[in-house]
Chains A and B, each alone.
Chain A
Amino acid sequence: MALNEHGTGAANGGAERDPRLERLYREAAREAPPAHLDAAILAAARREVGSRPRSLASALRRWHVPVSVAAVVVVSVTLVILVRDEEMAERPMQPEIRADISSAEKAAAPQTPPTPGEATSETVRSRPAAAVPRRQELRDDVRASAALGKGEDSSRAESGPAPSLGVGVVATPEPAAKPLPEPFRGASPGLAEERAAPASADTVVTGRLESAPAAPNELRSARPAADAAPGRLMAQSRAAKGAEQDRPPVWKGFEKEPPEKWLARIEELRRQGRAGEAEEMLSEFKRRFPEHPQVTGPR
């Protein structure tokens, strides 16, 4: 007997159904529990909920999602605050400058002092590429240094405001792309002396460099590329000095004068108590008149 032939068995896992029978049954089967039974059961259900404390497991199940979310938020906020505090604690130590100086020291340490003849622009441009990211900052240094030498002729610009140019040239590696302008390429042998002489803001940096063992003066222009960092420090200090740095050289106007006039002016400055300017002018005098008998003269 094919029991499924009239039914809807496929819809019920293979069991046949008869809609007419079901409808007939539902029309007939209308019995319901008595009201007093309903009331008793519902009262018992309410009593059960009201009288017994909710189990711990039930409470945990209900609250575990919001509690988890709250815990994640608290941990995240705490971490953010801690990291921010650490950053704030390190900030007063000027981490950038410190990092610059330390990287400069690292870069300077393994370097072997080249011979004077090697301190060429080629040598300078073959510096490690580590300083490349600093290029823009260093160019700023160069520009600032060039501003110091404003007013000088081109021949003087070649050896120009020596400290800054020296640093700038060294710290601006141009890897075979764009050669530096001619005035910035090399450094004359007298450059180091000039840089050592004036008591400027560069003292911090140049002083450290000059303490390097047996470094020839000529090589100071070939300082490692990482010296770019102190260059930035110099630029900052220079900016602080402001007007003093922007003043024209003390020997301005004496370029065409004979040595005697220079010496007279130096003496005058000393008498006026302007020892720094006297020294500056004396340095320039020595550079211009190296053969003059007064070069090693009175101090």
Chain B
Amino acid sequence: MAWNAESSDEELMLHYRDGDAGAFEALYARHKGGLYRYLLRQCRNAAAAEELFQDVWMNLIRARAGYTVQAKFSTFLYRVAHNRLVDHYRRSNQATVVSLEDEDGEAIADPPDERERPQDETLDAKRQAGRLMELISELPETQREAFLLQLEGGMSVEEIAQATGVSRETAKSRLRYAMSKLKRGMLEWR
């Protein structure tokens, strides 16, 4: 049974497990960008992101023989990446700041000061994008992770919860506050 461009991630991984290197190439092409950007935004360091990126894929390659479909492939992939990130934080003594106030949504970072922006300035899309990236980088780790998993991994709240090892409500809360901050931060740029 051959795979094609419409085969699911899980089918491709099963083909790779059974010895089809071409299936892995297709799978890699689908997820390399999203995974790389997820790691890059979380590490904020290109070299570390590349190292983690390679590590995640190598783990996947080594685990291919025992692969069985137990969850969505992207959830599996980003869970591996999440675990590698946690290891990375530990090694680099970078504390993951998780503010309960952030989770509650009351102590959200202040929106940009509108007085710093000229009212009549017309920002093009590039500048808007730059501003969005800036806001994303200012998000707490967990909220940023939830946001990136949603956009880069295409994951639902449940899948985000699985990948990060938290409850659905926690994942949903993180995602909600991340979006809230980003929207408020972008409000004056609209």
Contacts and interface: CB of A to CB of B under 8 A. Distances in A.
B157 A12 contact: yes
A34 B175 CA distance: 29
Nearest to A6: B183
A24 B179 contact: no
Interface SS majority for chain B: helix
Interface in A32-68: 32-34, 37-38, 40-42, 44-46, 48-50, 52, 54-55, 57-58, 61-62
Nearest to A33: B36
Contact of A13 (B17, B61, B172): B172
Given A41-B58, A41-B61, 9 more contacts: A13-B156, A15-B179, A16-B179, A17-B150, A28-B132, A33-B36, A34-B50, A44-B58, A49-B21
Contacts of B20: 49
A12 B54 CA distance: 30
B165 interface: no
Interface of A: 1, 3-4, 6-7, 12-18, 20-22, 24-29, 31-34, 37-38, 40-42, 44-46, 48-50, 52, 54-55, 57-58, 61-62
The 6 A-B residue pairs whose C-beta atoms are closest, nearest first, are A28-B129, A13-B157, A33-B36, A45-B24, A46-B21, A41-B57
Contact of A24 (B21, B64, B105, B132): B132
Interface SS majority for chain A: helix
15 contacts: A3-B179, A4-B176, A15-B150, A15-B157, A21-B182, A22-B151, A24-B132, A25-B129, A26-B151, A41-B61, A42-B28, A45-B21, A48-B62, A49-B16, A62-B18
B130 A28 contact: yes
Contact of A3 (B136, B180, B190): B180
B175 to A, nearest CB: 5
Given A15-B150, A27-B129, A32-B32, A48 B157 contact: no
Interface string B50-79: 100110011001101100000000000000
Given A7-B179, A15-B172, A28-B133, A40 B36 contact: no
A216 to B, nearest CB: 82
A37 B54 contact: yes
B129 A24 contact: yes
A50 B16 CA distance: 11
A290 to B, nearest CB: 94
Given A15-B176, A33-B53, A46-B21, A52 B65 contact: yes
A193 B190 CA distance: 126
Interface in B18-66: 18-21, 24-25, 28, 32-33, 36-37, 40, 50, 53-54, 57-58, 61-62, 64-65
B186 interface: yes
Given A17-B179, A25-B151, A41 B157 contact: no
B167 interface: no
B125 interface: yes
Among A3, A15, A31, max chain B CB count under 10 A is at: A15
B128 interface: yes
B37 A37 contact: no
B138 interface: no
B158 interface: yes
A58 B65 contact: yes
Contacts of A29: 37, 133, 151-152
B33 A45 contact: no
A236 to B, nearest CB: 61
A21 B179 contact: yes
Contact of B17 (A18, A37, A58): A58
Contact of A54 (B18, B129, B132): B18
